[in-house]
Amino acid sequence: MTLSRSVRSGPWLVTGAFLASGVKHLVRPGSFEPLVPRAMPRPREIVYVSGVAELVCAAGLLTKASWAGPASAALLVGVWPGNLQMALDATAQARRGGGRPRDLALAAGAWARMPLQIPMIRAALSARRAG
């Protein structure tokens, strides 16, 4: 895939991820509540707000709104602490479980997700250039 093609397709991938995740945040908020860092108040409300924000950003990316790329990148940075919380919790579970393969795989996947947000942020920011 060429750089210009990846710049064009990147925002679409972020849009799809935001649409799917945003809907899931609103339909199954309980599955996201454990990701909210413990220091944050009212995890259910935070999950709902982040789900709505994902859907708003997806709509902005779909319509090529000028604000959508930067807002999407900011949202991805804003939810990064939740991904860190998930990785820390998965690691703690793997330790408590004595290193069961499933727990180790979940922890490895959670940690692998952390740096994968960087290309998503870049893709969101490329929306302005791709439009």
In this predicted model, what pLDDT tens digit does every residue of 57-91 receive, in sequence order?
999 999 999 999 999 999 999 999 999 999 999 99
- Name residue, tokens 């990316």: 61
**Measured CA distances, 11 to 3, 47, 66, 125 (Å):** 13, 23, 13, 8
Side chain identity, residue 27: V
Residues 6+ apart with CB under 8 A from 29: 44, 47, 48, 51
Domain boundaries, the chain: 3-126
Report which of 46, 57, 54 is spatially closest to residue 85, judged by C-alpha positions.
46
Model confidence pLDDT, tens digit, residues 42-57: 999 999 999 999 999 9
pLDDT band at 38 (very low <50, low <70, confident <90, very high): confident
Distance, C-alpha 86 to centroid of its chain: 12
pLDDT band at 17 (very low <50, low <70, confident <90, very high): very high
Instruction: Judge whether 82 and 37 are in contact, CB under 8 Å.
Output: yes
Residues 6+ apart with CB under 8 A from 11: 61, 69, 123, 124, 126, 127, 130
**pTM given for the model:** 0.82
| pLDDT at residue 9 in the model | 63
